[in-house]
Every structure is written in C-alpha cells, then in structure tokens.
Structure 1
C-alpha cells in the first residue's frame, strides 16, 4: 500500500454537487482495496488564473491509501467528470500500513 493525497477544484457553479463527487471518489478508492484517511474542504477560493472564464473554485484536499494502480484510475475519473476543473494526485509514502496507524492511535 502507498499513501497519496489529491487536491481538486470543483467548478464554482457546481459546488452543491461536491458531495456527489466525494462519494464517487470514495467508492472508487474502496473498490480498489484502499481507504480514505482525511477529507479537508478548503472552500471557495480565488484561482491563480482564470479557468473556463471563472475566477473562483471550490478546493478539496483528500488523503487516501491504496495500490499503485489507483492513481491512474482516479485521474481518469477526474478527467471525465465535468464538475472537476483541475486536479493533482501526489504520492506521500511508498510503504504505508493502515493497520500500524490504528495500533499507534489505540496505544
């Protein structure tokens, strides 16, 4: 398993549908033997440059773990979903064991 994080921007006119996007991502991650560790909604923020003539977007940061085959599947999902206007997926750790984190929290 590896640990990843993704930052994506939801189209400002489709903010009310952000939970559907999160549910779709979570379902894909869990179907591929991964898990979501943390979801941090940054909210509406100004973009560095206009995208599709929009100056704002809804930012969401998500930490998750999964196999090496998972990021390309997520990137494909981001590309075909018109609600997401920008995204990035970054590997945080090569070897991640979610069981070890649960044991550490319990101690």
Structure 2
C-alpha cells in the first residue's frame, strides 16, 4: 500500500449536496478497492490561476489515502469520465510527507516555523 494525495477541482456550478456526493463517490471508490482514507479536506470555492472551460473559479477538494499502486489508473479513468471534474492531480507521498501532513493536521509545530511571542 502506497500513500497518495489527490487534488480535484470540480466545476463551480455544483450545489453543496452535489459537491458532497461527488466527494463521496470517489471516497467510496477508494474504499471499495482495498484503499484507506487518511484525510478528506474540501477547500471550497477558490479562484483558478487561469480559465478552464471558460470558468474562473472551481471547487477544490484534497483527499489523502493509501491504496495499491495499480488503483490510481482505475481512479484516473473515473475522474476523466466525470464531467464535473475540471482538473485532478495525484501526488505520491513518502513517509516524511505523511508525517508532516499528520503533524500539520494536529496543529503540532514542525520546527521550521518561529514561535510567535504574545
């Protein structure tokens, strides 16, 4: 099992329920293929760096998961078939990235930041 991070930009015309349904669809796909969801982070509506399909905003969603290496190809096919997905990007995470993400989520200071004095 390898660790991955998936970032998806959905079309901005989705309602809140449709956005959640799309997230659930892909999380279920990971779970059904012997994967494990580590973290789910919907960022919401953000501006795009450049227009995609004449849209200047998109609904961002980040999913951190563990899955067999051959699963990403299946997931990629489903992402390309979904007309609500504008862009997607997979990132393979090493053990240091997984540890960093866990510390960042828990609020533990990683050592690179300077403490703010009150």
Q: TM-score range by the shorter chain?
A: 0.7 to 0.9
- Measured after TM superposition, the shift of residue 93 of structure 1 is 2.8
Give the number of the structure whose alpha-carbon radius of gyration is greater: 2
Q: For residue 23 of structure 2, what is the aligned residue in structure 1?
A: 22
Q: Which runs of 5+ in 2 are unaligned?
A: 96-118
Q: Which runs of 5+ in 1 are unaligned?
A: 95-107
Consecutive aligned runs of 4 or more in structure 1 exceeding 3 Å deviation: none
**1:81-96 matched pairs, under 5 angstroms:** 81-93=82-94
Q: Which has the higher strand share?
A: 1
Between the two proteins, the alignment pairs up a number of residues equal to 94
Q: For residue 52 of structure 2, what is the aligned residue in structure 1?
A: 51
Query: Separation in 1 of the partners of 2:68 and 2:89?
Result: 17
TM-score normalised per structure 1: 0.83
TM-score normalised per structure 2: 0.75
> Secondary structure of the equivalent of 1:12?
coil
Cα RMSD of the aligned pairs, angstroms, is: 1.2
